[in-house]
Amino acid sequence: MDSQNKEVITFIFLVILPIILFFASFLIGRYPISPVDVVKTILSPIFPQLKISQTISTIVFEIRLPRIIAAFAVGSALAVAGTSFQSIFKNPLVSPDLLGVSNGAGFGAALAIILCSSNFIVQILAFVFGIISVSITYLISRVYKAGGILVLVLSGVAISAFFNALISCIKFVADPQDKLPEIIYWLMGCLASVTIDKLIMIIIPFIIGIVILLVLRWQMNILAMGDEEAQSLGLNPTKIRLLIIAGCTLLTSAAVSISGIIGWIGLIIPHMARMIVGPDNRILIPASLSLGASFLLLVDNISRAVITIEIPIGILTSIIGVPLFLYLLKRGYSEWS
């Protein structure tokens, strides 16, 4: 009975945490808005008779809402992709950029920044090159058939290094007055420049990615037992792994395309979630989704509330995340035996 109570409490925590954070986040920022105004403003499209000021409406809907949704989307995407990768590669040290997606996307963005200044093009090229780099990694691993997962991971490392070199090339030739800082700023990861338009562009890849990973979450458990066992249990490991990689790549590319490279979340959130709910992906994937979304939103709120200058969130996720992670690690972790 005791363990069942614990499960219920965990479940409620994981459902309520993001909801509370969602509403609380509207209160944070340089322009103070009361909780009552926030609720009124959010309800105003449904109940037009509510009287709200134009300023508050603009701040809530055009500044704070896109940023909150972006934090949710990016945090949950990176966390779910990280959890999925750790399962199918049977390795808890894996993060979503294992197969080169981040450096590929970074190259796309850097290329777009030196070619033109359109935010739209930057986002598109980041997304497309994220997918291209993983596709190259995957195709290489198919050429060297015998090695399986090991070859896939190694070609991921290689392609990642290759795109990293290309990024350095672009940095080297970029105009140090305006283009270079822009590239560096992008690579650090930031949610400040997210707009509704950018969010709309990632809706489709985000939903497809999340749905694939949610649907296949039980099969991930079986893949974690190894390819031969998975096959003897009737699964086609190559096919399912490809589907999962595709889902993760859509999610990560979509996330990176609006926020730049935000590290660490895809590695630690899966661990935090596993410490709370255990390794069964049927519960772990939704838990990662909730925790990833909440964590990034929390960090973004801290960055907006505590510090007056805008620090790239990629820096803060590590500065806040590492001590938290080490604290959790100290509390005991049977998996690291």
Partner 1 sequence: MSLFEVNNISFSYGEHLIFSDISFSIDKGDVLCILGPNGTGKTTLIKCLNGLNEIDSGEILVNGENIQKLSFRQISKHIGYIPQSHVPSFPFRVIDVVMMGRAPYLNLSSTPKEEDEQIALDALKALSIDYLRDKEYTNLSGGERQLVFLARVIAQQPDILILDEPTSHLDFGNQIKLLEIVKNLSDAGLSIIMSSHFPDHGFLSSTKVAIMKDKKFIDIGKPDEVITEDNLSKAYGINVNLIEHDNGRKVCVPLETNLKLNQDLFKKK
Site residues, partner 1 (CB under 8 A): 87, 90, 92, 215-219, 221-222, 224-226, 228-229, 231-236, 240, 274, 278-280, 282, 334-335
Between 128 and 214, whose beta carbon lies closer to partner 1? 214
Question: In residues, how long is the chain?
Answer: 337
Question: CB of residue 2 vs partner 1: minimum separation in angstroms?
Answer: 12
Select 70 or 269, whichever has its Cβ closest to partner 1: 269
Q: Minimum CB separation from partner 1 for residue 180, in Å?
A: 43
The residue (of 172 and 336) whose beta carbon lies closer to partner 1 is 336
Minimum gap (Å) between residue 79 Cβ and partner 1: 16
- The CB-of-82 to partner 1 minimum distance in angstroms stands at 14
- Read off the tokens for 26: 């509207």
Shortest separation between residue 16's beta carbon and partner 1, angstroms: 24
Indicate the residue among 285 and 293 with the shorter CB distance to partner 1: 285
The 3-class SS string of 270-332 reads HHHHHHHHCCCHHHHHHHHHHHHHHHHHHHHHHHHHHCCCCCCHHHHHHHHHHHHHHHHHHCC
The percent of the chain in helix, strand and coil, each rounded to the nearest 5, is 80, 0, 20
HSE-CB for 23 with a 13 A CA cutoff: 14
Rounded-to-10 torsion of CA 293, 21, 282, 224? 40
Instruction: Report in angstroms how near the CB of residue 272 gets to partner 1 at its nearest.
Output: 15
Residues 6+ apart with CB under 8 A from 211: 247
63 or 240: CB nearest partner 1: 240
For partner 1, the closer CB: 188 or 243: 243
Minimum distance from CB of 249 to partner 1 (Å)?
A: 19
From the list 273, 258, 242, 209, the residue with the least C-alpha distance to 79 is 273
Task: Give dist(CA 140, CA 145) in Å, integer.
Answer: 9
Side-chain half-sphere of 311: how many Cα atoms within 13 Å? 18
Residue where the block lists tokens 């986002």: 123
Closer CB to partner 1, residue 87 or residue 160? 87
